[in-house]
Amino acid sequence: MPLFHPTLYDWSKPVDSFWETQRASFGDVEAPPLHGDASADVAVVGGGYCGLSAAYHLARAGIEARVLEAGPIGWGASGRNGGFCSVGASFLGAAELKGIYGEDETLAFYRALVEAVQLVDALAKDETIDLKRQGDGVWTFAHKPGRVGELQTHADVLARIGVPARVVDASGFESEAFACAEQAGALHESVGFALNPLAYCLGLARATVKRGTKLHQNSRVTAWRREDAQHVLVTASGSLRAKRVIVATNGWLPEELVPELAGRVMPVLSNIVTTRPLSDDELARQGWRTQAPASNTRALLAYLRMLPDKRLMFGGRGDATGSPAGGLAMRRVLTRRIAEMFPGFAGIETTHSWRGFIAATRRLTPAIGELPNDPTVSFAFGCHGNGVAFMTWAGRELAKRIAGTAGALPAPVNGLPPRFPFPSLRLWQLRVMLARAWVEDTAL
C-alpha cells in the first residue's frame, strides 16, 4: 500500500519538470522493456544514479548486470532533483555525527562525501558526459545569525580533510553571490558544482550500455521469488534470473517486494519551481553574480540556483499527502517564498512545478550494505536529498563489494538503519516532523 497519493507512483506518467522538457536533446538511451526470460550475474532494481553506477562499475569489473527501471531511465529522483553535486547526505551536522560515531568515523564519512563529488567529475570526463556544469563550489547561507556557528563547524571538518571552505559575513555573501532578505552570513565549500541532473543520468546510462550492460526501462518488478540459489524478478513482460540483486530505488523503495527493508525509509516530498527567464535588469535588482548552487539552513530548506537561461530554480520541502491539490499548494508556497527572500523577483511567473521523494532514515544517515539474512541482496538508500554525488558513490561501493574489492564503509552509512516505529503511520510521523521543522526554523 503506497504511503502517498497514488499519482506519485504512476511510472507511465512523464515528470512535469523543466529538465524533462529537454530529455530529447540529451540523446537516446538503449533501454527496451524486458521481454521474455533473461539472466545475469546481478539484477539491479532501479535505473537512477545508484543503480546505473553499480551496473557501470560491475561491468568494468567483468561482472554482468542488468538494470530494471519501473519508468523511463531517470524517472525518479535522479532525473528530477535540483542538480546539486555537493558534499552531504545526512540530516545530522558534523558535531552530531562526531557525538554518535566519533571523530575518525565522521572524518571517514566526510572523505567519502568529497570523493563522491570527485567521482561524478571523473565519470563525466572519462565518458564525455555533458553535465551542463555550472559554478565552482557550493553556498550555504544562514537564515538567522544563530545558525552561522554550525557553518563554521562544517568548514572546520572540511579543513581537517584538506578541503578549502570559508565562512563570510552577510555583506561578504551579498558581494559574492546575491542579495537576500533572509541571510546572516554563509559558508562556501570549494568542492561541488551544479549540473543538469537528467543530462547526467542519461549520460551515465549511455556509458553503462557502452560497457556492455543491458538496461530495461518501463520494466517494473511486480514479483520476486527464490528458486534454489537464484533470484527471479518478474515484470509485466518478462523475468530476470540472477545470483545477486541490488535494490537501488531510494525513496520509491518497493517494500512489498523486500520485507526486510520495509519501514526503514521515510519518503519526504521535495518540491521545485522554475521561473521564466529573467532579464539582466531583474537580476540586477538582487545583485545576482553567482552560478554556484545555494541552500539555506532552514530545516524545511530552501535550495536554489540560477539556470543557464537565467531562470531561477527554487526548491523546498513540504506536503505530506502527495495529492495534486498538495502539489498546487506547494507551488504557491514556493512562489511566495521567492518573493519573501528576493523582493526584486516578486510577481515573476513560474513556468514549471514538480516534486519527488527524497529518502530519510531513522538514524538520519544513509544505508549501504547487504541484508543480514541474505547477503546476496545489496541495498543503498537514504541520501537525505543529496544524492547526485552520494548515490553515484554508493553504487560504486556496492559494485566493489560484489567484486570483492571494497574497503570498510564509514560507520555512519554501514548496514541497515532501524525501522520507523509503526511504519504504516509514517505519514503521521512525517507531519509531526514537518511541524517540528517549522518551529525550529522560526525559533531564535
The CATH code for residues 28-261+364-431 is 3.50.50.60
Domain range list for the chain: 28-261+364-431
**422 grid coordinates:** 509503526
pLDDT per residue as tens digits for the range 222-237: 999 999 899 999 999 9
pLDDT per residue as tens digits for the range 112-141: 999 999 999 999 999 999 999 999 999 999
**DSSP per position, 277-296:** PPPHHHHHHTT----S-EEE
pLDDT per residue as tens digits for the range 366-420: 999 999 999 999 999 999 999 999 999 999 999 999 999 999 999 999 999 999 9
> Is the pLDDT assigned to residue 83 strictly greater than 90?
yes
Q: What is the pLDDT of residue 436?
A: 86
- Average pLDDT value for residue range 204-218: 98
% of the chain residues with pLDDT over 90 = 94
| Average pLDDT across the chain, whole number | 96
% of the chain residues with pLDDT over 70 = 99
- Average pLDDT value for residue range 17-21: 97
Q: How far apart are CA 56 and CA 397, in angstroms?
A: 12
Q: How many CB atoms lie within 10 A of CB 419?
A: 15
Q: What is the pLDDT of residue 137?
A: 96
> Is the pLDDT assigned to residue 444 strictly greater than 70?
no
Q: How many CB atoms lie within 10 A of CB 98?
A: 17
Q: What is the pLDDT of residue 112?
A: 98
- Average pLDDT value for residue range 321-343: 96
- Average pLDDT value for residue range 29-58: 98
What angle (nearest 5°) sits at the alpha carbon of residue 70, between those of residues 76 and 373? 95
Its pTM surpasses 0.85: yes
> Is the pLDDT assigned to residue 19 strictly greater than 60?
yes
Q: What is the pLDDT of residue 434?
A: 87
Q: What is the pLDDT of residue 129?
A: 97
Contact (Cβ atoms closer than 8 angstroms) between residue 366 and residue 248: no
> Is the pLDDT assigned to residue 70 strictly greater than 80?
yes
